Amino acid sequence: MKRVLFVLSVLMVSMLACQISGVPALPQVQPTAIFQPQATAPVLPTPADPAEAESTLEALYQQVLPGVVAIQTDRSEGSGFVIDSEGHVVTNQHVVEGVNDVEIAFASGFRAHGTVIGSDGDADIAVIKVDAPADQLHPLALGDSNTLNVGEQVVAIGNPFGLSGTMTLGIVSGLGRTQTASIDPESGGRFSTADIIQTDAAINPGNSGGPLFNLNGEVVGVNQSIRTETFNELTGNAVNSGVGFSISINLVKRIVPYLIRDGRYEYPYLGISSIDELSLQAIEALGLNTYTGAYVTRVEPGGPADQAGIRGGTQPTSLENLQAGGDVITAIDGQPVPTFDHLLAYLTTNKSPGDSVVLTVLRDGQTTDVTVTLGARP
């Protein structure tokens, strides 16, 4: 069961892909932030045959490598990338957790001190300000992760196991994934981070915070973690299973301006609990006539959804801990909601506290629109 930005359990172990020193391991309304990248995508060959595809990858690597950095603290090692000419570097929050000062190593061999100026633990994003001369700062072009398709080739570049400038190739394996984030202080449940990209491009300890590129040389994600059930008995490292996760660049572009300006980010809050995907047994027990949508299991008393009249389940069913009578959210602002994850992704990448959304809900066999003013996550 999930609440908005909330999950109850994770079935497999998800390991952060940073390398820990010594133990290798993996009510103020916000304006809408529009991040303007300072770099344009490099002009690369268009692959028409295998030989040209290889040339494209080689050209991509040479073009983007100067913008990829290695990050080292007294606790961990990771990766990052330059986003502007002011010296701002994006990485994962877990790479710099608990520290303020870091060491940044550029592909040229130049090294500099950096200061963590903002971080968001829920999205696992942090921004570092590095003091470096202009000729060392090579901002990378930021793409549009909404244009990604499953099966599209992507490239990860980072510093796994301290091996700087390592490039791996894979595909987009899935889109719109969610991962657990912070604990809700009111209910004790967990919020979730949405709009996560799944990829089989090899991600290992030390890759955390590094860029995931499309074949145009644009950053489309920030590599974060892998999911695995296998660990190296000697080192304790998680063994790559081909299931890696990258934070979508569209979410990053929304959060980073606030981290630079305020040092923190506030998420929109709807105040509902839901089940990501209903089984056929659950659909039959609930008496639903739809197989898609976000079924509302619970509404947080006094929250935005409650104030707008959204209903949660209250009637017992044949299944334990599942109550019927809740609304099924089928669309938000006219955008279809196939699953609860899609609802989360739309909210986190498009809305801020204080914004209004129109939820299309299926209630008692009838479709109705409900306007909700979003709050700030507690």
Please identify every residue annotated as catalytic.
94, 124, 208
CA distances from 262 to 29, 104, 258 (A): 13, 23, 5
Alpha-carbon span 240 to 138, nearest angstrom:
30
- Give the count of beta carbons closer than 10 Å to the beta carbon of residue 99: 13
Structure tokens at 46: 């268009």
Residue owning tokens 């100026």: 117
